[in-house]
Amino acid sequence: MPNTPRAAPRSAGASALASAPAEASAAAGRGRFRTFHAFRTRTGRRPPLVLLVPACVAALFALLPLGYLAVRALERGPGYAWDVVADARTLHLLGRSLGLTAVVVAASLVLGISLAWLTVRTALPGARAWSVLATLPLAVPSYVAAFAWLSAEPSVAGFGGAALALTLVSFPYVHLPVAAALRGIDPAQEEASRSLGHGPSATFLRVTLPQLRPAAAGGGLLVALYVLSDFGAVSLMRYDTFTRAIHTSYRASFDRTPAAALSVVLVVMTVALVAAETRTRGRAGHARTGTGTARPAVPLPLGRYRPLALLWCGAVAAVAVVFPLGTLAYWLTAGSSAAWDLGGLADTAWATLGVAAAGAALTTVLALPVGVIAARHRGRGARLLEQAAYAGHALPGITVALSLVFFAVRYAYPLYQQLPLLVCAYAVLFLPVAVAATRAAVLQAPPVLEDVARSLGRRPWQVLREVTVPLAAPGVAAGAALTFVVCMKELPATLLLRPTGMDTLATRLWTETGAGSFAAAAPYAAALILLAAVPSYLLGRHRT
């Protein structure tokens, strides 16, 4: 079992010397530091200002759409907004949205955890290739997956089709962090369990799975927020959820109050989900702090279950990767290659790469202090900062876009219809992706190393730069790559905020698909999947 680091013992004289100045200045400093009590760790340490200030800036940035919603939802009075929220149709949408979310999260947990365990901890033939294939669905936008299934079987439309499409593009959000956590777990604990007579199943349930809980819960939360905010798949599958109802309300009327009130409900659901995920983490540490070095786990032989494991991995890869690619190949061959605008396709691809890279960079910078505080400081204030960072992710892209338009027109007009505004929208929408990756990476970094650096006289910013960030760098880089992929696929906010004359692969794909030009849309869909597949492939290969 992991060793729990303890504070170094102090003599009575040292304790008295240390407590005397603290008692002398307690009365004068109590009010000054009262605000920071909520951020204390179990040892009483508060987060340094070098983390706290930028984390608060990131949280305020993510909460900007909520200010817009408050203005819009209450502009006709609280009574009118409450009538919208309490309407029977709103409750019906709530049930449909929660039902779809629950099914997709449960299915994603099953797919993500099972594939991670098979590819990391067992002697599965071709484990590296299967791990990469399990990551590639990140490159498939939900609306492309929905289109692929609808074009093959129109009767799939509805709840089943929406759940299928969203599950097949969402489960890598669980697979990636769980696979990383499995590689970071010291196998000595599992070996000790088996030496005590516990079989593989009991060892997995009692020893391995509890250590995977933070990674699985974080991935499941990302899946839930992705489903709640998805617009493309549910629209194509003609399944009414909050996002589709909000988009219809925005497009059908100049009255923004009903749509804003529905968006507030989505925010409340987001806060509830984040709070529930936070409670599942518990108080146990997840970094190895004992003596010695961790050894790589010995792959478990599959024996007679090898054909079933290969069949399971092959089936998932077939429906999540091969099927949508095959559908696109059909439409590419069905259309005329002479009609392709290769120059326009290249320009659109470069624009997509540039804006996605800028969005991923800004999001990662904003997420780093929030993720470190969430991992190292478990007080009430740390939870509030993390929950604030998640606020924008469940909002429909059109709501975030309209809030930024509202802000730019009133307070920062030079940014209106400019590229920085679109980059800011990506940061608001996908901040949780980077925060979850950063928090998981910092959790697995031994905190005792940071304590040693502080004991050697390093200042907080030096500890962050020299110890925390290097240890968490692989996880932070993975979060940046994930953010890059989802920025390339984002549709509603890009449609509204892109500068005049600029198109991305997602917007051109949506325009051609909306006009029924499936053959003309196929090159843009193929280019989008190809470009998004590169970081997805690197993520899968890096973690094998």
Tell me how far CA of residue 527 lies from CA of 179, 508, 511, 531, in angstroms: 28, 11, 15, 6
CA–CA dist 184, 444 (Å, integer):
7
Of 60, 495, 65, 498, the C-alpha closest to 260 is: 65
Of 427, 431, 363, 373, the C-alpha closest to 401 is: 427
Q: What pLDDT is attached to residue 35?
A: 45
CA–CA dist 395, 259 (Å, integer):
11
Q: Give me the DSSP letters along 88-119.
A: HHHHHHHHHHHHHHHHHHHHHHHHHHHHHHHH
Q: What pLDDT is attached to residue 296?
A: 65
Q: Is 199 exposed, middle or buried (0-12, 13-18, 19+ CB in 10 A)?
A: exposed
3 state DSSP class of 122: strand
CA–CA dist 310, 303 (Å, integer):
12
Q: What pLDDT is attached to residue 274?
A: 76
pLDDT-flagged residues of the chain (< 50): 1-37, 41-43, 289, 291-293, 338, 544
Q: What pLDDT is attached to residue 467?
A: 80
Q: Which amino acid is at 62?
A: A
Q: Could you tell me the two tokens for 340?
A: 């392709």
Question: φ, ψ for residue 503 (rounded to 5)?
Answer: -125, 150
- pTM, rounded to two decimals: 0.71
Per-residue b or e along 75-100, where b marks 16 or more CB atoms closer than 10 Å to that residue's CB: ebeeebbeebbeeeebeebbebbbeb
Q: Which amino acid is at 103?
A: V
Domains and CATH numbers, the chain: 45-287+296-542 (1.10.3720.10)
Q: What pLDDT is attached to residue 142?
A: 86
Q: Answer whether 404's CB lies under 8 Å from 492's CB.
A: no
3 state DSSP class of 496: helix
Which residues lie across from 300 on neighbouring strands? 122
Q: What pLDDT is attached to residue 45?
A: 66
Q: What pLDDT is attached to residue 101?
A: 93
Q: What pLDDT is attached to residue 273?
A: 81
Kindly report the length of the chain.
544
Q: What pLDDT is attached to residue 177?
A: 85
3 state DSSP class of 543: coil
Of 373, 382, 301, the C-alpha closest to 123 is: 301
Q: What pLDDT is attached to residue 314?
A: 93
Q: Answer whether 505's CB lies under 8 Å from 528's CB.
A: yes
